[in-house]
Chain A
Amino acid sequence: MKYAGLLVMPAGFFLTLATLVLFPDPTRRFVFVLCALAVECIGLVVTVRGHIPSRGATRP
């Protein structure tokens, strides 16, 4: 799960690049860059959750 999250994060970045290239309108750019950041946050959340040890798991 952690690696899936780490793959989603660059997807958000490439969405940002696409937004800059495809949308000349400032308002649309702003909204889509926020959406791209939201995608990155989802990826980060998935990565974080993948690293939280489950209850009863072996700990150092």
Chain B
Amino acid sequence: MSDAAVALTLALLLIAPLAIAGIALINTGLGRSRSAAQALLGNLALIAVSAIVFVFAGASFAGTLGNSEVVFDVARKSWGILGLGSFLLHGISSASPHTQLAVVFEFLAVAMLVIIPWGSGADRFRLAGGCAAAAALSGIVFPLAANWIWNTGWLSALGGNFSLGAGFLDTAGAGTVHLVGGLSALAVVWIAGPRRGKFPREGLSTAMPGHNAVYVLSGCIVALVGWLAWNVAGAILWLHAPLTQLPVTAINTLLSASGALVTTLSVTRFRFGKPDASLCANGWLAGLVTSSACAAIVSPVAALFIGGVTGFFTPLLVELLELALSIDDPSGAITVHGAAGLWGLLATGIFSPQQGQMLAQLVGIAALLGLMLPLIYLLFAALNRLVPFRVDPDGERIGMDLHELGGGAYPEFVIHRDESYR
């Protein structure tokens, strides 16, 4: 890795946390005002817990430092499953610049992963439960996925072992972060249950709109800046993309988000008579998530098309999950991160010129979907027995801010009475 590439990647990784900040703002804005401070504090707490657990154990299991690994030999192929490197990042100072930057990227990736399910549990997910979930994700789940996909694991070796393109490609975390995050969000929603009053016995679900559209839409712009840096850094680190290819990666990121937003705007305008701000924000973010998989690989026209498809299904799927499947997901993380991440991984296979790439993507998706959701669900169900995820009914009624923090985010403003909801 040249000095210029090292310097550029480091600079980009210092900007990339803006993507995390954007998601945190969006999640807070889509929740209720009585839980706003707890929502934003929770983002900070979960990022802190994930960093600590990752440095203690997760980085070792991810195998980025490459000291040793659990490898199975099956059918005369090596299948790397889990890293067994030194704990507490021992030896990182003597590692190559590429390896050190990869570790930084993984720290940021796990921080983004843990805040995704936090948004889905808005208004009823306890801080302690969130921290426990973050610890499980950063200590076990993320390291598994990162080892398989980014380091020397079996998914990255599909190209060499089975002639499947370049192996499973996930440039900037559409699989390791967003698909896994979406599945975690689904598990949290199932275990914590819906918000009180969301699904009455009769009639349609109760609309519980976000309390601050300005947070949500500002978060979208902040996320764009972070995502541009994120995708370009991922292209350098995991695809070893030459410097001349990086501007196209940034352009594709913007085009994917733009295509998604315009499509979502049109769909919501057509369905509801006026565009829906929060669904458009979801569409924009879903476009960014999709670009995490394919921005460094596809052409600009393909990126625009891929984003357009994302923007089409995002508002429809958000609606379907709530109305048909009784899934209460305030931040829309299951759709925005899970479904959009999945589509991005598929699109990488569809639009990649390499032979066998589509099959490699399908194998990776099968691995992530088939193993991660059951693992995450069982981990969270076990944790829920030790550290309950859901707040008690009184706490939910007065709001997470007052119940968990002793003070509201907006003490000078009147909070809506519960009777305003059915």
Restricting to A5-60, which residues have a CB under 8 Å from any CB of B? 6-7, 9-14, 16, 20-21, 26, 29-30, 33-34, 36-37, 40, 43-44, 47-48, 51-53, 55-56, 59-60
Cβ contact within 8 Å between B373 and A44? yes
Nearest chain-B residue to A29 (Cβ)?
Answer: B359
Instruction: List chain B positions with a Cβ less than 8 A from chain A.
Output: 74-75, 77, 124, 158, 162, 190, 193-201, 325-327, 356, 358-359, 362-363, 365-367, 369-371, 373-374, 377-378, 393, 396
Top 4 closest pairs, chain A to chain B, by CB: A13-B370, A16-B366, A6-B374, A21-B75
User: 12 new A-B pairs (CB below 8 Å) besides A34-B362, A59-B198, A60-B198?
Assistant: A9-B373, A10-B370, A12-B366, A13-B369, A14-B370, A20-B158, A26-B356, A33-B359, A40-B369, A59-B194, A59-B201, A60-B393
Contact B367 A13 (CB under 8 A): yes
Tell me the bound Cα distance from A53 to B158 in angstroms: 41
CB-CB under 8 A from B359, the residues of chain A are 26, 29-30, 33
A: residues with CB less than 8 A from B are 2, 6-7, 9-14, 16, 20-21, 26, 29-30, 33-34, 36-37, 40, 43-44, 47-48, 51-53, 55-56, 59-60
| Residue contact B201 to A10, C-beta cutoff 8 Å | no
**Total inter-chain residue pairs, C-beta < 8 Å:** 82
A15–chain B nearest beta-carbon distance, Å:
8
* Given A16-B363, A20-B162: A52 in contact with B326 (beta carbons within 8 A): yes
Q: How far is the CA of A53 from the CA of B396 in the complex (A)?
A: 20
A53 touches B326 (CB 8 A): yes
Interface contact B194-A60, CB-CB below 8 Å: yes
Q: Which residues of A contact B367 (CB under 8 A)?
A: 13, 16
Residue of B nearest to A49 (CB): B325
CB distance from B328 to the nearest CB of A (A): 10
Of all chain B residues, the one with the shortest Cβ separation from A16 is B366
Query: CB within 8 A of B363: which of A7, A11, A33, A55?
Result: A33
**Complex CA distance for A16 and B154, rounded to whole angstroms:** 13
Which residues of the other chain, A, contact B327 by a CB distance below 8 angstroms? 51
Closest to B359 in A: A30
Across the interface, do A40 and B378 meet the contact criterion of CB distance under 8 Å?
A: no
Select from chain B the residue with minimum beta-carbon distance to A6.
B374
Q: Please give me the residue from chain B that is nearest to A58 by CB atom.
A: B201
Shortest C-beta distance, A57 to chain B (Å), equals 8
Q: Assess whether A56 is in contact with B74, with CB atoms less than 8 Å apart.
A: no
How far apart are A37's CB and chain B's nearest CB, in angstroms?
A: 5
Q: Which residues of B contact A34 (CB under 8 A)?
A: 362
In angstroms, Cα B369 to Cα A26, docked, is 22
Shortest CB distance B335–A (Å): 14
Please tell me if the beta carbons of B363 and A20 are within 8 angstroms of each other in the complex: yes
Q: How far is the CB of B389 from chain A (nearest CB, A)?
A: 13
Task: Pick from B369, B393, B396 the residue with the most CB of A within 10 Å.
Answer: B369
B198: A residues at CB distance < 8 A: 59-60
The answer to whether B365 touches A37 (Cβ under 8 A) is: yes
Q: How far is the CA of A51 from the CA of B374 in the complex (A)?
A: 14
Chain A residues, CB < 8 A from B124:
60
Please, how many angstroms separate the alpha-carbon atoms of A59 and B396 in the complex?
Answer: 14
Chain A residue at smallest Cβ distance from B328: A60
Closest Cβ–Cβ distance, residue B400 to chain A (whole Å):
15
Which residues in A have their C-beta under 8 angstroms from that of B196? 60
Instruction: Specify which chain B residues have a CB less than 8 angstroms from the CB of A7 in the assembled complex.
Output: 374
Q: Is the CB of A44 within 8 A of B356?
A: no
